[in-house]
Amino acid sequence: MTFGVYALEQTNPKKGDRTETSVQFLLQVKRNGAWSTEYNVTLNGKTTSETTKSLVIKNLPPRPFDVRMLRLTDDSTTDTVQNRTFWASYTEIIDSRQRYPNSAVVGMTFDSSQYGSQVPRRNFLIKGRIVQVPSNYDPATRKYDGVWDGTFKPAWTDNPAWVLWDILTHPRYGMGRQLGVDDVDKWMLYAMAQYADSPVADGQGGTEPRMTFNGWLSEQRRVYDVLTDICSTLRCMPVYNGRRMTFVQDRPADKVWTYTNGNVVRPVSGDCFTYTFSPKKSRYNVAQVRFTDPANGWKTSTEYVSDDAAVARDGEVVAKVEAFGCTSRGQARRLGKYILATAQLERQTVAFSVAAEGLRHIPGDIFQIEDNDYAGASVGGRLLQVLPDDKMVVLDRSVELPGGESFLCLTGADGSQVRVSIFSQPQPDRLVLDKRPEGVVEGDIWGLVLPNLAPRLFRCVSIKDKGDGTYDISAVQHVPEKESIVDNGATYAPAPDTRYGGDLPPVEHLVLEAVPDSDAIQVRAHWSVPRVVCGLRFSLKLCRGERVVSNATTEDTAYRFGGLVPGHYTLTVCPVNQAGQRGAPVDTVFSIELPAIPDRVDVTPGNFSVMLHPVSLKVTSLGTQYEFYKGKDEAEATAMTRYLGRATYLNDADCKPDTDYWYAVRTVNVTGKSPPLIVKAHTTLDPDDILDLVGDGIGDLDWVKDLKKQVKNNTAGIVLLNDKAALVVNKDGRISGITVDSSGKKSVVDILADYFCVSDPDTLERRFYYDADRRILVLQGELQLLDGTTISGADDVKNGSGGVFRLQTKDGIFPTDGNAATSLFKSSFGLSPGKDTVFTVYAIDAVGKITHVESRMYDGSGWIVPKLLVDGDIIAMGTIKGDRIVAGAELSAPVIHAGTITSSGNPPAFSLTPDGKLTAKNADISGNINAIGGHFSHVTIDNSCDIQGTLRAEHIVGDIVKAAGGTFPVIRNDYVSGTLTVTINDDQSFDRQIIVPPLVFAAGGDAQNMQVASGQITSPTKGASSFSRCHLRVTHNGQEIYNVTVTGNGVGVFSTVLDMPSGRGDAVLQFTVESSHSNGYTPFTSISNLIVMAVRKVAAGISIR
């Protein structure tokens, strides 16, 4: 039953106030001929709009029956009372049980008073459907027990492979009526499910399944769209293999075949293989992945993934995707990395045609392409001859094998691809293999795997029957390293797959540095490339004017030019690949000249600092800097005795306000130094500039203005601020102070702050502030001492007390007017007199003899006649005693007894206390220092030092030699095999050289009887012994610098000297030794112990003629 009121309120006819009122009525049902009250309802409150209320009546009498609402409150007869009621509606509720087949139903009851007329929104966290999973699979542990027999069981799972199986085979909502279970490749789904359940890092220190699916299909969609969405979770795509629906998953797999120019159909015009490349706009470097985030209340979040290097190179190319069914941030991030890795690494597609004999794969298989035209070398073809009694094969073309180990790919007896190491090459078209695989016959396909050319893998996408006995193949590039990049965060630089130079990396960040080299100049150039390319070299050309000074080629990304003379130079660096093709050159111009004096020095003074910025208007030489010297006057600056340092500009923070300083600035480079330029700087005194004086720790006082508005007049005088402090307010409502503790009779203020200030309460202008970090006290106004002395400016501070000043005048008479004497003092000496300042005026005759002299002392307010004044020397044979003795120039005595001797200045630069403690800011001692103990900090020994005892040091940095050694692993005392890695840390400020003393390795056995005739290797003569092989490979920072194999009774020696420039990072040397035997027996090899030394690179004291 629903009933209510149109309005409910009562109005006071005199004041017009509206107040609450009430209305009462009964809800009755007629039972057995009599009315029975079910509810006694009272509506109380105030409302001007229509309001309803609903009540439920249960246990009703048999039909028909009567229901009524009986009002007990009298009807209103005036407009001042609004309580008119109405019966809105009635609803008959019939309870019945309903079926909801194939559904999970949730019923909920809400109190409508909490939501009004709005239906509350409900969110449910559900696990989803129970689907068919393999009978040997435990979805809770994600384990597979034994071998699967192909049967299923019902269970809940979030493995996307079995969700896909459910969609494809379920007859009610899936494709079960169109596809049977035999039409879907469940064995491929089984492999994909295991791949999805594999644990990977979740990016937060734990692990999680590689792929999960928690999707919600709430509306009908095209089945292909749903399949595509679920397959995107599995990184796969559905294909038809001619018998059933299967899936091609993007994951590493073995190659099944090799296609070369010899086993594909060559068209009448064109190449055997046709390549297409992805456009630049599709090579994404930023992915924005939207997913359902449990940490965000199961709302949609966006995971941002970027390839910063690609963004810096190409700008942002954004891919926005929806991670369908993804509820893991780690999985969303892996999806983003997968999209970027695919776009950046797999850029090619290939199309070609084969005959029926060449059709050796199905969609989804991985095959290798050896395209001679693309590679720029002979890398594939057919075998012309296989010699039956030895391991030699004859190819259909000549090949070129570079240094390092190469392999030949052939077809084994079972039709699978095998890779065999190449032992030697007696002729350009003949190769000797380590072993000949069974089943190799003439006409088989061969492919070369070379150390300087990466193999090219592709995954088949489609096979189309042309109807003439040939088939069109389409495939996309496959990079197996992509899985490690996505799941493990590995880095990968693609190796070159062609000798053509279309992909030469550019030279970047070319930087030059100049260093002295005896009487000439040495310039060090270093640069970088965005990626590593095997066999990449750099051609350097250095010109002085039009004349070529030097041509050089290096495999390193740094080079030094020595013996340079002053002049203007141009350096050109160009990348070059193994085929001699050159990339884009990069030029830089520099000059080597004697330094010129700076044209000017821009001076920016502050209160406590002076900024000096030298300016040279013409082009400066390479490595130009400036040396800075400081003095209290021009003479000291010109003498250049106080060295401040060498830089391109200087900020001298050791200054006082309102003070003159002199600086000498000269230009320096590797060729010499220029004469100095002398400049004068005068520091400022601006107490209003609080940011310069006490830093930025004190903010503005706008908050006080707002606080004053909240203080009412004639309050109790104290306003508590959150019980943490007290605000003192006077009778006029004016804030007069803030205290930390106002308990007790006295107010205790303890200020704990980095900055403290006192401000005018009316103007909020700061008058007094203290910087605790820099220990600076700033006072805007006048400082008055207890003796009446006042200090109000820099003159008072500079003059101090007791200064003696002399001035020659015409008559030598001291002015009688004190103001005139003060003006004369200021105009003559440029400052104001201080307390105890002595001012003497005198006159001399034509021969320089003093004719008249008068002196006065300034007491702080005027000039007075001192009780004793000696303007000259005083010699006392006895003792001079006094509370204060002021000496204008010098005070000399054989013995001076004093409690403490302290120099002037604040803080004093020199002090000597009665207990023998000597403190001095700067001390020059020309004699000897004898001490039995003590502590030195930041000590520099300019000359040699003899240490008679023991020298102990925690860390030594200097011209020293570091060495390390190691032993290679020996297997069963017969042969050596293993790898040693040596890392030299870049922890020195100077350049070094890495020296590897001779490393000797040898192989046992007798190879003298091996005969080579007519390009074929014959068997050893009767009685000849077999032989061992010992192979040594050395790399420097990943680049191969040595790769040699010695055989029977052969000996190899490796030694090298490598440059290690400072600041270029650690140097890593890797030594790998391997052993083998010609007949597969246990080899006999050996190698000496490894020693690596790092020494400072310097040519001092060494000359070669």
Query: Could you tell me where the DSSP H helices lie in 176-323?
Result: 186-197, 223-234, 308-314
Q: How confident is the model at residue 870 (pLDDT cuts 50, 70, 90)?
A: low
Query: Could you tell me where the DSSP H helices lie in 479-573?
Result: 482-488
Phi, psi of 112 (to 5 degrees): -65, -20
> Which two three-digit tokens encode residue 422?
């190449």
Question: Burial code of 1062-1072, b = ≥16 C-beta within 10 A, e = fewer?
Answer: eeeeebebbbb
Q: 502 by DSSP, 3-state: which?
A: helix
Nearest to 230, CA basis, from 280, 192, 277, 271: 192
Q: How confident is the model at residue 949 (pLDDT cuts 50, 70, 90)?
A: low
Length of the chain measured in residues: 1105
pLDDT at 784 over 90: no
Q: How confident is the model at residue 716 (pLDDT cuts 50, 70, 90)?
A: very low
CA 545, CA 567: separation in Å to the nearest integer? 8
- Segment 245-270 mean pLDDT: 86
What is the residue type of 76?
Answer: S
Q: What is the pLDDT at residue 406? A: 86
- The pLDDT tens digits for 565-616 are 888 899 999 998 877 788 889 999 888 888 888 999 999 998 888 999 999 8
Top mean pLDDT of 108-112, 157-161, 803-807 is at 157-161
Q: Could you tell me what percent of the chain has a pLDDT over 70?
A: 80
Picking from 376-380, 907-911, 973-977, which range would have the lowest pLDDT averaged per residue?
907-911
Average pLDDT, the chain: 81
Q: What is the pLDDT at residue 709? A: 56
- The pLDDT tens digits for 810-825 are 888 989 888 888 889 8
Q: Is the dihedral of CA 1015, 1019, 1021, 1023 positive or negative?
A: positive
Q: What is the pLDDT at residue 691? A: 46
- Segment 1003-1023 mean pLDDT: 42
Rounded to an integer, what is the distance from CA 589 to the centroid of its chain? Answer: 32
- The pLDDT tens digits for 308-340 are 888 888 889 999 999 999 999 999 999 999 999
CA 4, CA 804: separation in Å to the nearest integer? 105
Q: 232 by DSSP, 3-state: which?
A: helix
> Which two three-digit tokens encode residue 823?
């003006």
Nearest to 787, CA basis, from 884, 856, 865, 656: 884
Q: What is the pLDDT at residue 616? A: 87
pLDDT at 46 over 70: yes
pLDDT at 1023 over 50: no
CA dihedral 1022, 1028, 1029, 1030 (to 10 degrees): -150
CA 523, CA 550: separation in Å to the nearest integer? 12
- Segment 79-88 mean pLDDT: 90
- The pLDDT tens digits for 604-656 are 998 888 999 999 887 777 778 899 999 999 999 999 999 999 888 899 988 88
Q: What is the pLDDT at residue 300? A: 92
pLDDT at 254 over 80: yes
- The pLDDT tens digits for 424-449 are 888 888 888 888 777 788 888 888 88
CA dihedral 938, 940, 941, 947 (to 10 degrees): 20
Q: What is the pLDDT at residue 1019? A: 36
781: alpha, beta or left? (left if phi > 0; alpha if psi -120 to 50): left
CA 277, CA 1071: separation in Å to the nearest integer? 39
- The pLDDT tens digits for 962-984 are 888 899 998 877 889 999 999 99
- Segment 504-520 mean pLDDT: 75
pLDDT at 908 over 80: no
Query: Is residue 86 a contact partner of residue 6, using CB atoms and an 8 Å limit?
Result: yes
pLDDT at 151 over 90: yes
- Segment 41-48 mean pLDDT: 90
Query: Is residue 360 a contact partner of residue 241, using CB atoms and an 8 Å limit?
Result: no
Phi, psi of 23 (to 5 degrees): -145, 140
What is the residue type of 344?
Answer: Q
In terms of Cβ atoms closer than 10 Å to its own Cβ (0-12, 13-18, 19+), residue 31 is: middle
> Which two three-digit tokens encode residue 1018?
């014959």
> Which two three-digit tokens encode residue 688?
């209003």
Q: What is the pLDDT at residue 301? A: 94
Q: What is the pLDDT at residue 917? A: 78
pLDDT at 217 over 80: yes
Q: What is the pLDDT at residue 700? A: 55
Query: Is residue 770 a contact partner of residue 753, using CB atoms and an 8 Å limit?
Result: no
pTM: 0.48
CA 740, CA 336: separation in Å to the nearest integer? 56
CA 694, CA 879: separation in Å to the nearest integer? 49
Q: How confident is the model at residue 66 (pLDDT cuts 50, 70, 90)?
A: very high
CA 532, CA 24: separation in Å to the nearest integer? 91
Summary count for the chain: helices (H), strands (E): 13, 75
Top mean pLDDT of 87-101, 405-419, 900-914 is at 87-101
What is the residue type of 712?
Answer: K
